[in-house]
Amino acid sequence: MSPGRTAAVAKHSKRVVLEVVGWTLVVAGIAALVLPGPGLLGIFAGLVILSQQYEWAERRVEPIKRRALEGASDAVQTWPRIVMATIGALVVVAFGVLWLAQPDAPSWWPVDDKWWLYGGWAPGITLVLSGLFALATIVYSYRRFRGAPYEEESGD
């Protein structure tokens, strides 16, 4: 293969990988808006990657970043919010540990035992990592925004 063709293949391969990663993060972020996980952060990361290829994605990076930072700031402005967010993250970690432990189905389980904690180790690892990421986000938000809420910088 000629050097020019090799460079073209490498450039095309990089674009394909970036698109797959970007779209995967966007879709995972959308799912995490309703499932445990950092939804806006996933969408933001995906849009940052896609913005390298698409102008429409570049236009959406700043509004999503602003909403994510506002949400992170709001979450640590009162102690009840901090406590509830921390408890929620710890519950997600606990469910992940339960999934990884794979105990026998309890007697009250109404369907076939094969549906108890379905999916094996993958959901458990995902839940544990999501909960730990949530805890790290709470600590970051507390250190950055507690007592000094996020305010959008004016471009004037």
Q: Clarify whether residues 59 and 126 are in a common domain.
A: no
Q: What is the mean pLDDT of the chain?
A: 86
Domain boundary among 28, 53, 75: 75
Q: Which of 75, 105, 122 is the last residue of a domain?
A: 75
Residue 16 has pLDDT above 80, yes or no: yes
Domain that holds residue 50: 1-75
Looking at the fold, whether 66 and 52 belong to one and the same domain comes out as: yes
This prediction's pTM: 0.68
Q: What is the mean pLDDT of residues 2-9?
A: 78
Same domain? 110 vs 61: no
93 and 69 co-located in one domain: no
> Tens of pLDDT along 66-123?
888 888 888 888 899 899 989 999 999 999 999 999 999 999 999 998 888 888 888 8
3-39 in b/e form (b: 16+ CB < 10 A) is eeeeeeeeeeeeeeeeeeebeebbebbeebeeebbbb
For the chain, the domain total comes to 2
- Are residues 117 and 67 located together in one domain of the fold? no
Rounded Cα distance, 14 and 47, in Å:
16
Q: Quick one: pLDDT at residue 153?
A: 59
pLDDT recorded at residue 156 = 42
pLDDT digits (tens, 9 = 90+) for 37-53: 678 888 888 999 999 98
**Nearest alpha-carbon partner for 85 in 148, 138, 39, 36:** 138
